[in-house]
Amino acid sequence: MTYRVCLVCMGNICRSPMAEVVLRHVLDERGLGRRVTVESAGTGGWHAGDPMDARALRTLSEHGYDGSAHRARQFTHDWFDRYDLVLAMDRDNLAVLRGMAPSGVEVSLFRSFDPAAPEGAEVPDPYYGGSEGFVEVLELVEAAAEGVAKHIADEIG
């Protein structure tokens, strides 16, 4: 049985695909890669089919990650049945996801798994800024990915 995770931001070209690549790497390092599928999507569909933002891809590459295979997708309400864990990058996308989630389905913030992050901490959208915003996003998702991986390890035993 495979445990399935979906990480969600707005357009699925910056934050959530960066988090997808990082979390997949962390899970592989812990020996859980074959037991966990990590995917990402956006609440909006205007970038569907597009590759990752070039700045996000470059930042990942400069830090030893490969995000070249990514293609943006839009999360839809019927996807909740596909995933064991759905995590939003910020409160706006969390609200959208909770609004479409079936009764009883829990959706959380990605950074809620980082023990050093304050309650309600978000991964900020770097899209309209410079390269330093993408480096900040990478640092934040690396910190939270460790906690997400621990949670998944506890879940799957």
By C-alpha distance, which of 114, 115, 49 is closest to 87? 114
* Among 53, 90, 114, 125, the one annotated catalytic: 125
| pTM higher than 0.95 | yes
- Give the model confidence (pLDDT) of 49-94 as tens digits: 999 999 999 999 999 999 999 999 999 999 999 999 999 999 999 9
30 is catalytic: no
> SS3 for 70?
coil
State the catalytic residue, choosing from 9, 14, 53, 114. Answer: 9
Total of domains in the chain: 1
Q: Where residue 142 sits, what CATH number does that domain have? A: 3.40.50.2300
Asked if 115 and 145 count as a contact pair (C-beta separation under 8 A), the reply is no
Local confidence band at 157 (pLDDT 50, 70, 90 cut-offs): confident
Domain that holds residue 24: 3-156
Q: Is 111 helix (H, G, I), strand (E, B) or coil?
A: helix
Residues 6, 14, 15, 73: which is the catalytic one? Answer: 15
CB atoms within 10 A of CB 18: 33
In the chain, DSSP finds a helix count (H) and a strand count (E) of 4, 4
In this model, does residue 109 exceed pLDDT 90?
Answer: yes
4 is catalytic: no
Q: Is there a contact between 12 and 40 (Cβ–Cβ < 8 Å)?
A: yes
Q: What is the mean pLDDT of the chain?
A: 97
Query: Please, where are the H alpha helices in the chain?
Result: 15-29, 54-62, 91-100, 131-156
